[in-house]
Amino acid sequence: MSVIKPLVATTIGVLAIGMSGLGVNLAFGHDVTLVVDGHSSDLTVTYASVAEVLNDQNIVLTDHDRVWPSLDTIVSSDMTVEVNYGRPIDLTVNGQEGTYWTYATNVAGVVSGLGLSETSIQVSADQLTAIDRDGMALSIDTGYDVQVAADGQANTIHAFGTVGDALTAAGLTWDEDDQISPSLDTPLADQQTITLVRVSQQSIERTSAIAFNTENSDDPEATKGRVTVVVKGANGELTQTILQTLHDGVVVEEAVTAEVVSVEPVTQVTKTGTKAPEISTPTVTAPATVTPSGDAQAIAHQMLADRGWGEDQFSCLVSLWNRESGWRTNAANPSGAYGIPQALPGSKMAAFGADWKTNPATQIAWGLSYISGRYGTPCGAWGAFQSKGWY
């Protein structure tokens, strides 16, 4: 805080005594204009010095007052004597306190003396408030340039006081649910960013499907594995009431407040046949003997011989797997069947070896085991295939 230093410090009485010998000046009067803090008066004096003039007018100076010309100046006609009283201001600027001495006679003069613009500050007293010689307490807020982000826009404004004051200055209103950062009572700082997020809630309804259940029973009159739909199932519908929380129009949180089954699901009723299929031994049309073609058939030919099956069985097996896979180890069906024997699923063959995906011997071994357990012989399996298109 700057302090105005006194320009003149003196005791008027001493100077008056010192100048009493100048009798020539006592004989004639002088017209003098005395200006005290801007207020002028015309005097006719017979005193020798400026100090004597002031003493006659009962003007008592302090160390902070200013006189022009100096007190020991000899009075002459048409002279102007100016006196400015120093005034102490208990000044607070942006929270910083100190004493500021000024010759200003009102608040506007103090503001001007500080080099501040009246339009960019807030002052605790009216600009036209007069200041007496005892001074006064004065608070000045020079304000801050802050950025206010709200409602999809960001604007820089000059504001005073707190975050709440800045939002008000920006023409914004808010309610207790809105989110404001920093808090409303936070003092402003230069280049501060203030955000106002509008918080709102809305209730909506949303529907979703309820999957139907299936009830199945055995049907001893239908072929094993055959599924008959007795009652077709249908999905139900669930209606939920949802409370949404929005920040600036964007949903950030949802909570279900109520729900009701608006459409009941219909249970699907099915029957699955359990009757064993009738297996008839077909007339084998394949040649009595078939020469193995390729490594896979050669492996199968040897495995059939190891089981005691003759060439007729091999012929049936060749016909069966020609139709199923063409004897390809990587034959794949969209149903999930895989390999030479078309195991469904293919992973069943893992029981005969971890290399079931690529090794023809593993696949053939599993296939012959399956045929033996279900149809007895390859010709039995081939006959079933010819009857129903699968085995």
323-349 per-position pLDDT tens digit: 999 999 999 988 889 999 999 999 999
Q: Is the torsion defined by CA of 183, 188, 193, 198 positive or negative?
A: positive
Q: How many CA atoms lie within 13 A of 26 on its CB side?
A: 7
Tell whether the model's pLDDT for residue 9 goes beyond 60. Answer: no
Domains and CATH numbers, the chain: 12-84 (3.10.20.30), 87-141 (3.10.20), 144-197 (3.10.20.90), 201-275 (2.20.230.10), 294-388 (no CATH)
Interval 2-15 mean pLDDT:
35
> Cβ distance 247 to 199 under 8 Å?
yes
Interval 84-112 mean pLDDT:
94
Q: Is 156 helix (H, G, I), strand (E, B) or coil?
A: strand
Q: Which two tokens stand for residue 388?
A: 């129903």
Tell whether the model's pLDDT for residue 353 goes beyond 80. Answer: yes
Please write the tens of the pLDDT for every residue from 247-261.
Answer: 999 999 999 999 999
pTM of this prediction? 0.46
Q: 115 CB contacts (<8 Å, ≥6 apart)?
A: none
| Residue found by looking up tokens 């969209």 in the block | 334
Please write the tens of the pLDDT for every residue from 139-179.
Answer: 998 888 999 999 999 999 998 889 999 999 999 999 999 99
Q: Is the torsion defined by CA of 301, 306, 310, 312 positive or negative?
A: negative
Q: Is 52 helix (H, G, I), strand (E, B) or coil?
A: helix
Q: How far apart are CA 89 and CA 100, in angstroms?
A: 5
| Residue found by looking up tokens 């004096």 in the block | 45
